[in-house]
Structure 1
Amino acid sequence: MERRPTIIDVARAAGVSKSTVSLVLQNSASVRAETRAAVRAAMEALGYVYNRAAANLRSSGAGLIGLVINDLRNPFFTEFAISLQMALSERGFAAVLANTDETPALQAQVIGAMIEHGVSALIVSPAYGGGETGFDAIARAGLPAMQVLRRVDGRTDLFPFAAPDYPAGSRLATEHLIAEGARNIAFVGGLEGRMVTEERLAGYRATLAGAGLAPLVLPGRSGRSMGRAMARRLAEDHPEVDAALCFNDQVALGLLSGCAEIGRPVGPGGLRIVGFDDIEDCAQSWPPLSSVRCDIAGFGQAVAATILAWVEGDVTPPAEDRPAVDLVIRASSAAQPSKER
């Protein structure tokens, strides 16, 4: 006996997402007339029969968006997840949240569970690593899904990518440090070979090359402990370094505390330090930390609007979106901080 056609078959035949077919079946007014006609035509051609009883059993999953985050211990990702969840709530959707702890196998597991529980779409800040990651399962399910903050799957036609403009951020930070008189600027933190590290290095390297200055890259796992240890390493092994651009704020905040531990001044007259992301702690540290501002809250709100436009209106996002960043200058790198917004 031939297999009965499914909602996924209809979605593929009509060239739309599974969620769009569901909205047509629910007679949602948010679907355009031409899209509705295409879905109805595909249903008729395939002989699809809507099983309303089964749909009712699954309805508890309606309005759910899966949010899969690689490391919720990092305040940057926590702030992003909160802003995204709040923006979804304002539109009547709930976020199902999972932390993968940088483990691709766990990521695949939680994605599979979310699909089984009937989420309407997924937003994934993916873990790095090989093996099964869950993206193939999303493709088979025909669900709208975005990669955010990191890109690990090259199929951006299926899984569009959104992240702040990291190269521009490191360029702004490096230009600022040079303008403040720094001539030996180290880039501290970030694991080698990862796209996000290479992007944050790109603007730094290009700006130094344009100024005729040599780079010094000191990679490592990007946490506060690494930054704190780096303060002593810089003082002992690289005493010429007069400024540091850090891979993220966690490294920079650790570097601040490490400098305090060894008695090295920070800011004008000492080691100038700039972080990346501008998490809430930056303004509360001492001295306050300069940082590349990625507008975490605004980014989360924008991602929520994008995924809901895809789910409700069949508006497919561009393959890549790189919102602008800016630099918030505080006392860790300059005598004249910029005005806080």
Structure 2
Amino acid sequence: MASIFSEPKSYTVVFSTVIAIFEIINIVGLMDNVVIALNNYDLFPEIPIIESKEKLILLPSSMAMATNIFSNRVIWGDLKLGHQDYIIIIYLLSTLFRLWINNPSRKLKIENYRKKPKMISIKSRRWFLLSFFMIIFTTLFIVNKLGQLAKIYERTGFATFPDGAKLDLWADPKWIEPLPNLGLFDYLSLLLIFFLIIFCLKQTFIIRLAKKTKQDELSAIERVWKNTDDAISIGLSKPNKSFPIVNDAFSKLLDLLSASATMNIAATALEDGDVKTSFDRWSRLTAPKGKESEKWQGLSNSLSDIGNFEVEGEEE
């Protein structure tokens, strides 16, 4: 939608604001008071005022009104809604819609929603359209079998069916009356149609059951990603509740950076021949009771997960 309705420019917003103020003043009948005030200041050529006419007409609603305006230079009309008001209202609503559709917070919500795995997603649009038309056809089929389609047609006044009727496009006449009882063929037809609908829906949608992932099963970098995503989602509606999650994600990220920095120091010391410093740094990381053993565990697990991706079915 945002690609179709572009964001209005600043001058468009200013122009719409001016038009909205003009419309409010004009529709409540205060435009003649504004014109009288302007005439008193002699800022513009004097605009004539007509008694009992309080609305300024810029877009005539009929040819007679247009002729009257151009011949008699009468730009005042009765205080009621006209074509001019409808055009202005539609223009203002379209501007508001473009502002809403291009709202940055709304775009962020949509982007976050698209990133989240969906339990139900569309696999094929062609099968979706086919399923939609199959459901409509089935509804009309059932309504016709029960005689409700004939009752709807009766309301138009073109025909009456005292004992009910069923539409048959292949017969002559088209309406079969009285309404025949449902037979075995009708039930088998309905059963076949329902099977076709189920098949179409199966080809249309992918259903993924939500998997609850325990926090302990995530690597350190995955916890950072998860907490960041949770903070963004919660922060859109409840900013105060997102702060602890952001702090937790930031602290985990600092732990990873700290372990990475210690590893770099150990590698650099080993290159320089300082075995003692290198061994001390490595001991901090790899020893079971090392000061940074937990940080190193999180970093090593995160590094081992690089390149491992879940394989999911592709959508058409």
TM-score by length of 2: 0.17
Higher normalized strand content (fraction of residues):
1
- Larger RCO (alpha carbons 8 Å, 6+ apart): 1
Bigger helix share: 2
TM-score in terms of structure 1 length: 0.17
Larger Rg: 2
